[in-house]
Structure 1
Amino acid sequence: MRDPYTVLGVRRNAGADEIKTAWRNVAKAVHPDHNRDDPNAAARFAEAGRAYEVLKDPKLRNRYDYARREADLRRMEEMKRKSREQARDTVDPETAEEMISRIFGAETRPQAKPQPIPKAASVQPQAEVKADPKPETRIEPGVAAEPETAEQKPEAKPEVEKRYGPFGILPRAAAPAAELVSAIVRRIRGAQKPADKVPDIFSEATVTIADILRREKATATLPDGQTLKVALPPGTVDGSVIRLKEQGYRLNGMIRGDLIVHVRIAADETFRPNGIDLHTTLPINIQDAVLGCEMRVDTPTGATSITIPAWSGSDQAIRLEGHGLPDADGGRGALVVELRLMLWEKPDERITDLMRARRDGLVL
């Protein structure tokens, strides 16, 4: 994957809004529907989606930035090390398994240092006993080894060819073709990855409290301007996320993406949502607050009567169960009635005298 900052064309200190705007612009510019003559449009669109997935998540973004810095440091250290060891760099013989491991980037087993190929003239009878202890080449005790002559050199040459395989590789590196093919198949099967998924589509849908109560479908607007009706499941609240599997863009050779809808509840003059509960305000005067009374209050399904306890203040709330939003279990939340102490529109002389008497300590 390329640098996500480069893919979206943003700075490394870009904010979330700037990254989101850049992704939308890039997605519209490289979308396959708008670039039917470009065979690489789908790949570029998927690359932009993967870059946005990394940069929009603060944890993934921080992890990528840290990994990039560490990779740059390791790359610099590796370049310094290679420059120091370039003069003594050697190539060790390898087996078929080690060859495939190196090609596919897997770890290899420790390799033994290669032994120099001895010349035919330097092959001694004692060395032949260690390399190939066959009866016909074993030296009997007490018999001194005789130096080789020019006539004996052709006999030592086949021994060298026997000990070292074709291309000067030791016998352990000259693996049979079956072992080589088997190693390749094992590596390919282990390296297979599932098909890439088309990036998900993010959208918002604004609904009212009445829409949720009536189970109306919400309208989601896609980035390309298309609209889609989305059913609201029970338990939908302000900020709910609805994921519609495989309802996103469809591209050949890739897994279809999802549609992710963020639900927002529109502002209401009477009710304020808080999860599955609804809050409303009920104004009361001093007389009703002190003495208590019966009052009518509006609910999402109609008006109902409530009892205001005596000596109620503005810091008190009355909770009416079953008058809120539906939950996922088939029940409903509560309607929380918040009391607000209000004065009459015109001053009342009796109330004024009473408050003055309490303040000044007078007895009426």
Structure 2
Amino acid sequence: MDDPYAVLGVPRTASEDEIRRAYRKLAKKHHPDLNHGDARAEERFKAVSSAYDLLSDAEKRRRFDAGEIDANGAERAYARRPGSSGWAGAGTGGTRYRRTDNFDAFADAGDLDDILRGMFGQGGARAGGGKGRDISYTLRADFRLATEGGETTVTLADGRSLKVTLPVGLTDGQTIRLRGQGERGPRGVPGDALIEVRITPDPVLERDGSDIRMTLPVSLQEAVLGGRVEVPTLLGPVMLTIPKGSNSGTVLRLKSKGVRNSTGSNRGDQYVRLAVTLPDPIDPELARFVEEWGARHPYDPRKGRIR
């Protein structure tokens, strides 16, 4: 991958918010759901996602800036430091995990611990007595995987690979505890592995509790005459009917296309906000038509709406 700063078009001094905004803008522009069959857009989307994955992680960004890892997150042989084995690769998607000894940052798993207690057992105490140390990792999860739940593979620092099932409806920063997957203590009792989930934002879909929201660009023709448009959802693309005479700001609902609850029995809805988008540049024929039409049919769109 090229320089991630150049890929996102931001300076090396860019803030987290600037990096996030640049990613969302570029990812939305090149998203495969909005560029069907465009191989170049798909490659560009992958590059933008990889760049964001590196720069959105403070530790990865620091190590890249220091020359310790390359743009793909791989360790530079000459920069490897003692104790750097805490970096581990993921078995899927090239995701990477960061080891940290700051247990307190991961100690509060919140509601997720209640959900996972039956799956992964009790836990949460700092290693003591004969128990080994708990080890913490950061998992970068795709928005849809984190929201819908699913299985991924974690490769720990010691080379072991673990399959982890993410429950539905994860939120950014929640922690999964894998009991007995930490370091072994003096009596052979292992600590736990604590995996903090950091969610990569989707360039099109945004979560609002149990609902999903998005903005859908529509053409002037679609807004005036109506039509059917394909839109992405967590369940895959669906066809949405655009009513005749739709304005920018019109919100349409896709029932039961939102986030599943923890039992999987219900879903929220998806809300699609329309944004009428004119061609760029404006076609001269369209400009002449609108000018002539406006002269014959004057109206004030602000009347009664703006005082």
TM-score of Structure 1 vs Structure 2, range by shorter chain? 0.3 to 0.5
Rg larger for: 1
Q: Which of the pair is proportionally richer in helix?
A: 1
- TM-score, normalised to structure 1, is 0.40
Larger relative contact order, structure 1 or 2 (CA cutoff 8 Å, min sep 6) = 2
- TM-score, normalised to structure 2, is 0.46
